[in-house]
């Protein structure tokens, strides 16, 4: 998780970082402002699995039909129910008249939160870092359709302080899951959210593919009910992947 905090001086900024993120917080950037300082603080994923409730700047990537819009809406709804809409901004890519903008606008009206649709991912990242201080900024990244766009998009995400999560349908077979993960690995995602779980009684192939790629899988999206269908992965379900069973047997 990345948090951007502002304070009158560095001592106050570090105190706010400890208060919000605890002792595991790591300062990754500092800037002097006209009236004080701004710091970017990273909280290691190992220190908190509950990134859904932690806020900050989060990007959701994944193939077409993976449920990215529903996942974004579910995360935003959980945050709004807990903190209210004032500190939430939804971001998209493609411009204000794109299909993504229409989808985000519907979610924004439902939750009562502002929506911004930028022309490209680098522009969206800059705006998100400005909006994410003490709140939640969510970005839905369009599915990759060409190699030129892929390089620009994935590189911008990889070199940003955003927390990147890969939405991966639980219905995928192992070979397909491996290909999807490999395609999006350049964005340096830190974890996978299983989607369409209601359509798959046995997502072991996707769990094994994520584990082989070193990606944490802590959350699942069962269906379209917002936010009820977004829940934590059951430990028994995660431990049932073929890879884990081989490790236990060894």
Looking at residue 54, what is its pLDDT? 78
pLDDT: which is higher, 94 or 161: 161
Secondary structure E strands in 179-232: 191-195, 216-221, 230-232
* 146's tokens: 């060409």
Nearest to 146 by CA among 91, 183, 101: 183
pTM over 0.85: no
Which numeric CATH code is attached to 49-249?
3.40.50.300
Looking at residue 245, what is its pLDDT? 42
Looking at residue 3, what is its pLDDT? 63
Q: Give the pLDDT band of residue 133 (cuts 50, 70, 90).
A: low
């Amino acid at each position: 998780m990345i948090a951007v905090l502002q304070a009158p001086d560095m001592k106050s900024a570090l105190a706010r970082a400890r208060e919000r993120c605890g002792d595991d917080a790591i300062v990754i950037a500092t800037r002097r402002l006209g009236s004080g300082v701004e710091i970017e603080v990273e909280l290691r994923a190992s220190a908190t699995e509950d990134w859904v409730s932690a806020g900050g700047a989060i990007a959701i990537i994944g193939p077409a039909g993976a449920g990215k819009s529903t996942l974004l809406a579910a995360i935003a709804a959980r945050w709004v129910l807990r903190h209210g809409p004032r500190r939430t901004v939804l971001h998209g890519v493609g411009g204000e008249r794109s299909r993504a903008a229409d989808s985000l606008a519907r979610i924004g009206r439902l939750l009562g939160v502002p929506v911004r649709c930028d022309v490209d991912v680098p522009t969206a990242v800059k705006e998100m870092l400005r909006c994410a201080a003490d709140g939640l900024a969510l970005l839905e990244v369009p599915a990759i359709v060409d190699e030129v766009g892929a390089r620009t998009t994935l590189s911008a995400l990889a070199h940003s302080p955003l927390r990147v999560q890969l939405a991966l349908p639980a219905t995928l077979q192992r070979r397909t899951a491996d290909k999807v993960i490999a395609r999006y690995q350049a964005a340096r995602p830190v974890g996978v959210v299983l989607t369409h779980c209601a359509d798959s009684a046995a997502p072991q192939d996707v769990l094994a593919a994520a584990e082989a790629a070193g990606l944490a899988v802590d959350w699942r999206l069962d269906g379209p009910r917002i936010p009820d269908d977004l829940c934590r992965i059951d430990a028994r379900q995660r431990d049932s992947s073929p890879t884990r069973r081989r490790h236990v047997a060894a």
